Amino acid sequence: VFANAHHPHVPTNTGPGHATLSTGAYMRVHGILNNEFYDPALGRMGYCTEDRSARIVGLPDVSGLMGMSPRALQTSTLGDWLKVADRQSKVCAVAQKDRGSILMGGKKADRAFWFDNPTTGFVSSDYYPGKYPDWAGKIVGREVLRDSIDKGWYKAFPESYYSRSREDVNEFETGNFLPDFPHTLARTHPRLPEGSKEVV
């Protein structure tokens, strides 16, 4: 185990980062240049896991949702190597976002799951073989995570454990949420009544 490992690549966005970690290759080899990049096959900007030949599965109504797959990934991943080494291997990737799941699972994964933001339910793609499993349709993120959301998100360790980390607040941290710990509904959404389900 490495305590301080680095992959020196730019840009440090999630799509190319996931692909670099799962393939052990840099962007010029794995082909995921950014979360969004110009796709010559489409003749326009495209999303890193976009695939018009694929269809989202796991929701009653998928109209208007962009199909997803590892089509743009140009080399094999750890999951692919496992499938080649042993055909009985099972490779399933689960992540909050599509690109995390799809790019980490690879081209030969049995299934990739990610959360659909509006419903917080698991979804997948018909790119992957077999029927979408019934059990996956019963997992709803807002219910699974309800206890954690209500309690808030606090640092897991004492401050001394973070000596190699940057300060908790930096000027480059932007967005809708406060960048420093703890992350609680009361801090991030002070107008919401305690126990509100509105933001989940």
pLDDT digits (tens, 9 = 90+) for 162-198: 888 888 877 777 766 677 888 887 776 655 455 554 4
- Report the relative pairing of strands 92-95 and 111-116 from DSSP bridges: parallel
Q: What does pTM read for this prediction?
A: 0.76
Query: Active site includes 14?
Result: yes
- pLDDT, residue 200, reads 45
**Which position among 12, 14, 75, 119 bears the catalytic label?**
14
The domain boundary, picked from 144, 160, 180, lies at 144
For residue 153, the one-letter residue type is W
The domain boundary, picked from 106, 124, 144, lies at 144
Please give the structure tokens belonging to residue 37: 């990049």
In a shared domain, residues 136 and 43: yes
Q: Is 100 exposed, middle or buried (0-12, 13-18, 19+ CB in 10 A)?
A: buried
- Could you give the number of structural domains in the chain? 2
The domain boundary, picked from 129, 144, 159, lies at 144
- Can you tell me which residue has the tokens 């750890």? 78
- Can you tell me which residue has the tokens 């703890």? 182
Domain that holds residue 161: 145-200
In a shared domain, residues 22 and 117: yes
